Amino acid sequence: MAATNVHFSFKNAQGRPKTGTLHVAPVRRHISGSTVVVLGGFDVALGSDGTATVQLEPTDNTFAWLVREFPDDTDSAFERVVQVPASSSTVEYTSLVDVDKDALTPALNTGAALTYLLASSLQEAQAMSAANPGQMVFYPEGQAKTVASQILEDLTGARAVVEAQSAVAAQAANAAQAASVQAADAVQAVSEQTAQVSANAAAVQSVADSISESKTVVESHASEALTAIDEAVKQVRDKASDVSGEDRTDTMPTDSTDSASSQEV
């Protein structure tokens, strides 16, 4: 995590720059995951203008920074335990939030005057608020009204979009339901047609079987008839043969005497 630049600025009661030394040290060990990060204390020498800028590791709920102001100056010595936010811009030392040394939670107001920050725009107020957690930040009312109106307009537009999307989704759901019903009807119709085709095929097979049986019966009867006809023809031929033999016996002469008598007459 990148360090945050903290700007220190001191003046004496007469308004002149206050020079001297500050001592900065961590309160507790800094825990990062499973690692103990050892941050050592160091001194900060203020310049002739009473200012200095120092890079400090942003704090979390495991540690905070202890700042001893002018520890060698009995009259000016003071001590603070503060949080340092993660910020890419420089943060003022006076805007840092004081925390309880033992609990590391924001310290209760023990009589100090309420402090706040003023911003000229919403964007600046957002940046200042991010850089100074726990501090009140004020910006012009007109800006707030404009932003509130814009937020309300955005919410109204978002609601309209959601309602439109909901209507489209409802139409899609209705169309899907109608398609499902049509598909079910089509499946039922196909099933009924399949059953009818099966019934027709069974009827045709039954007729074919009946015709086959009739053919067999007819062929059997025809065979019997042909056999009977052949038998009748044979009987007729046999009778005809017998009759022809009798006729030939009647016309032939019996002896020579009969022949002679016939000639004399």
- Tokens 């060698």 — which residue? 72
- How would residue 264 be classed by pLDDT, with cut points 50, 70 and 90? very low
Q: Are 54 and 44 in contact (CB under 8 A)?
A: yes
Amino acid identity of 103?
Answer: A
92 HSE (CA, 13 A, CB side): 10
Identify the pLDDT of residue 117. Answer: 74
Backbone angles phi, psi at 68, to 5 degrees: -105, 115
How far apart are the C-alpha atoms of 178 and 171, rounded to whole Å? 10
**SS percent in the chain: helix, strand, coil, step 5:** 50, 20, 30
- Tokens 């033999």 — which residue? 245
pLDDT higher than threshold 70 for residue 261: no
Residues 8-34: tens digit of each pLDDT: 999 998 999 999 999 999 998 888 888
> Higher pLDDT residue, 174 or 253?
174
pLDDT higher than threshold 80 for residue 99: yes
Amino acid identity of 92?
Answer: E
67 Cβ neighbours under 8 A, 6+ residues apart: 22, 23, 24, 79, 80, 81, 82, 93
- Per DSSP, 101 falls in state T
How far apart are the C-alpha atoms of 131 and 61, rounded to whole Å? 17
Q: How many CB atoms lie within 10 A of CB 136?
A: 11
Identify the pLDDT of residue 33. Answer: 84
- DSSP H or E run through 198: helix 141-251
> Higher pLDDT residue, 257 or 169?
169
How far apart are the C-alpha atoms of 58 and 16, rounded to whole Å? 31
Residues 195-244: tens digit of each pLDDT: 887 777 777 687 677 777 777 776 777 777 788 788 878 888 887 777 76
Residues 163-199: tens digit of each pLDDT: 888 788 888 888 888 777 887 787 787 778 778 877 7
- DSSP H or E run through 127: helix 122-131
Starting at the edge strand that comes first in sequence, how are the strands of the sheet with 4-9 ordered? Answer: 51-56, 4-9, 91-92
Please give the C-alpha separations between residue 231 and each of 84, 226, 246, in angstroms, as whole numbers: 134, 8, 23
